[in-house]
């Protein structure tokens, strides 16, 4: 059974208890990889490497950050477009922001977040949201700090309050349109037998009422809360590979199908997009950026309440 979820290639790597201790993980030419706190400390002085602190509030960064880290809040990524509240900003804005923090597309950038030592509002998703966005807009070597700054602090590593000098870069945005899937394409393919749609929101929201105009979930979407994949005490730390594989098996998510990651606004789904596309190297992974917010913006779209992915058919009344 397990082999279905890790083939082709990489079964031994995925099952190895020490695989992620040989970062960057996984090996190969993927755009996004995991690195450990040990690795980051060993490479902090590496020429050409940028460390981005994407903690939830600038005061969190001011209070403490990894030495040499530059602050870039994820909030700049999305702005309203024609009233829709969670669209990506203009490419020119993305490009200017990435230039201001000195990014070069082929030089490594490490991204981390935390719960927020000052604000206390961090949910752990800022680093996956930023990593996905960097890759989408043309960066080629993105590293996510497994465990974030919280793990760094727990291990007693050095923190700083210094703001590093940064030389602007000439980063050029090149959008990778094969990562997201738009609304019309999503509607066309979501119910195909060779497609699995995942919903990364908490189970109680998937089953019932969240902030959206309609309760429930997109018909056919399988509940896979992103938080279930992470360490119980640290939302930035991915569970051991074997534990994650067990969860995927329980949900019958295999490599032979197209995986579409969704959630509420496209942010929680970045956690699972990174996992499937880059950490576990599934061959066909997309992210429905509009997610449930866009789906429910169309009143004619049906939704499903409860634990089942689809509405159960109503039994026909017995004939007399």
Per residue in 268-310, pLDDT (tens digit) is 999 999 999 999 999 999 999 999 999 999 999 999 999 999 9
Q: Is the pLDDT of residue 1 over 50?
A: no
Instruction: Evaluate the CA torsion angle 137, 262, 8, 235 in order and state its sign.
Output: positive
CATH 3.40.250.10 is right for the domain spanning 183-295: yes
pTM of the model: 0.93
Q: Give the pLDDT of residue 3.
A: 45
Indicate the average pLDDT of the chain: 93
Q: How confident is the model over 229-256, as a mean pLDDT? A: 95
CA 30 and chain centroid, separation? 15
Q: Give the pLDDT of residue 13.
A: 46
Q: How confident is the model at residue 313 (pLDDT cuts 50, 70, 90)?
A: low
Reported as a single tens digit per residue, the pLDDT across 34-91 is: 999 999 999 999 999 999 999 999 999 999 999 999 999 999 999 999 999 999 999 9
Q: How confident is the model over 20-29, as a mean pLDDT? A: 92
Main-chain dihedrals φ then ψ at residue 277, nearest 5 degrees: -75, -45
Active site residues: 263
Q: How confident is the model at residue 21 (pLDDT cuts 50, 70, 90)?
A: confident
Q: Which residues make Cβ contacts (< 8 Å) with residue 236, sequence separation at least 6? A: 112, 113, 114, 124, 127, 145, 146, 147, 148, 149, 150, 151, 230
Q: Give the pLDDT of residue 261.
A: 98
Q: Is the pLDDT of residue 189 over 50?
A: yes
The domain at 31-154 falls in which architecture? 3-Layer(aba) Sandwich (3.40)
* pLDDT over 90, % of the chain: 89
Q: How confident is the model over 179-196, as a mean pLDDT? A: 98
Q: How confident is the model over 158-184, as a mean pLDDT? A: 97
Question: Domain residue spans in the chain?
Answer: 31-154, 183-295
């Amino acid at each position: 059974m397990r082999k279905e979820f890790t083939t082709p290639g990489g079964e031994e790597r995925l099952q190895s208890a020490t695989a992620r201790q040989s970062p960057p993980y996984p090996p190969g030419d993927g755009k996004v990889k995991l690195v450990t706190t040990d690795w980051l400390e060993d490479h902090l002085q590496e020429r050409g490497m940028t460390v981005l602190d994407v903690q939830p509030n600038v005061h969190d960064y001011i209070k403490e950050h990894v030495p040499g880290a530059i602050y870039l809040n994820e909030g700049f990524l999305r702005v309203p477009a024609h009233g829709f509240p969670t669209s990506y900003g203009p490419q020119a804005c993305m490009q200017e922001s990435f230039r201001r923090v000195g990014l070069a597309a082929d030089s490594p950038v490490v991204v981390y977040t935390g719960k927020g030592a000052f604000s206390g509002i961090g949910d752990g998703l800022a680093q996956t949201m930023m990593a996905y966005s960097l890759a989408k807009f043309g960066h080629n070597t993105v590293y996510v700090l497994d465990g974030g700054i919280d793990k760094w602090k727990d291990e007693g590593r050095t923190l700083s309050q210094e703001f590093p000098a940064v030389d602007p870069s000439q980063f050029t945005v090149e959008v990778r349109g094969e990562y997201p899937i738009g609304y019309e394409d999503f509607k066309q393919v979501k119910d195909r037998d060779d497609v699995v749609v995942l919903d990364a929101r908490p189970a109680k929201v998937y089953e019932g009422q969240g902030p959206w105009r309609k309760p429930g979930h997109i018909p056919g979407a399988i509940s896979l809360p992103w938080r279930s994949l992470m360490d119980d005490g640290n939302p930035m730390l991915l569970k051991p590979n074997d534990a994650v594989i067990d969860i995927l098996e329980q949900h019958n998510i295999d490599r032979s199908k197209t995986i579409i990651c969704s959630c509420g606004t496209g942010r929680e789904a970045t956690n699972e997009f990174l996992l499937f596309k880059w950490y576990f190297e599934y061959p066909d992974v997309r992210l429905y950026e509009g997610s449930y917010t866009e789906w429910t913006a169309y009143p004619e779209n049906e939704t499903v309440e409860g634990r089942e992915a689809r509405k159960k058919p109503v039994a026909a009344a017995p004939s007399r």
